[in-house]
Homo-oligomer: A and B are copies of this chain.
């Protein structure tokens, strides 16, 4: 365990965070640019609103939990300020992308910019004793709840009448967002329920409607009553996503001393590891079909960095909680495969997108979906777990 702690600490503090601080932070306009090439040079100056929030949360969390380095506080402040000045459309909803200067480029239907802005503001309120940040964190979470769970608020992707469906994403991101708000602001009441009450509600819904015990699977999309939809969308499972949900639940069970939650998290992790792990080349597949039929997504067998980050956390947490050898072995498997294939030996940080066999497909370090989040969160979470 000491060997792992040393690797995670060194990679986090000497490699990954310095890469983004050096190449990503925008001294001119504030905030962070994540579309960086292998060597850190800018590929696209457009800014992801997801990443203003995610990066602020990561920098703020390191400041809060590792040590109070001024450059981390400043980076968190810069991203939070960028959201304040350039994030919101007239109706208060946050953009998906804006230009380097902050001019609006793209608004999307869903509300993940809001969830990431909520956790960013929550930790920033905590470390900077900033009252506006606290109010913004709560306001963004309220927006997240309204768009995600009030019928008719989010403009629908599908015609609603014919085949109503719900996704696991809103529940999962809801859980981790509420966990971070509680961690930084206390167990505040938001839209009629405390963070803990929201978390319990969503974990129950995942267990009731998305977990299929007969098929040994966690589904991504089901009917409103939790039925399997026997179409491409309903059959497509995402092992990395499910494993991420598993460790959010394990984290909650551990914090609360709730064995039922721990058992649920271990079950999901166990089944979805079996579904996702590529026994031929190693690594985790991106998509699978619940009946092992072909999926519609033609790049389904690629190995992305983030499912490996989530599986590294989940297996370590399972090992820590149970002491069982099989979790230790799986942690070693995913750790070793990840560190053998993702890191860039020349310029540091990790490649994000590998072919099935582990060779890089694109060598960029970031874009609108990859930046300082899954990888440093894994390094930070595992480090803290090992140092307890």
Contacts and interface: CB of A to CB of B under 8 A. Distances in A.
Interface stretch (A295-303, A311-319, A376-384): A295-303
A43 B294 contact: yes
Nearest to A36: B294
Contact of A293 (B37, B105, B161, B368): B37
B353 A163 contact: no
Interface string A2-41: 0000000000000000000000000000000001011000
A159 B362 contact: no
Contacts of A367: 232, 296
A164 to B, nearest CB: 11
A298 B299 contact: yes
Contacts of A104: 159, 161-162
Given A106-B159, A157-B106, A367-B232, A361 B298 contact: yes
A162 B99 contact: yes
A94 to B, nearest CB: 13
A356 interface: yes
A38 B302 CA distance: 21
Given A37-B293, A107-B159, A298 B353 contact: yes
Given A43-B294, A298-B362, A299-B299, A162 B231 contact: no
Contacts of A281: none
Looking at A44, A46, A295, A362, the one whose CB has the most chain B CB atoms below 10 A away is A362
Contacts of A162: 99, 103-105
Contacts of A293: 37, 43
A295 B35 CA distance: 10
Interface residues of A, number: 42
A196 interface: no
A195 interface: no
Interface of A is mostly: loop
B159 A105 contact: yes
A363 interface: yes
A388 to B, nearest CB: 36
Contacts of A161: 103-104
A176 to B, nearest CB: 24
Interface in A143-168: 157-159, 161-163
Nearest to A232: B44
Given A106-B157, A158-B106, A298 B352 contact: yes
A355 B106 CA distance: 31
A45 interface: yes
A294 B362 contact: yes
A334 interface: no
Contact of A105 (B44, B163, B301): B163
A364 interface: yes
A105 B229 CA distance: 13
Nearest to A363: B294
A316 to B, nearest CB: 27
Interface in A38-82: 38, 43-46
10 contacts: A43-B232, A44-B296, A105-B158, A105-B162, A232-B367, A294-B363, A294-B364, A298-B361, A299-B361, A300-B361
Interface of A: 35, 37-38, 43-46, 95, 99, 103-107, 157-159, 161-163, 231-232, 293-296, 298-302, 304, 352-353, 355-356, 361-364, 367-368
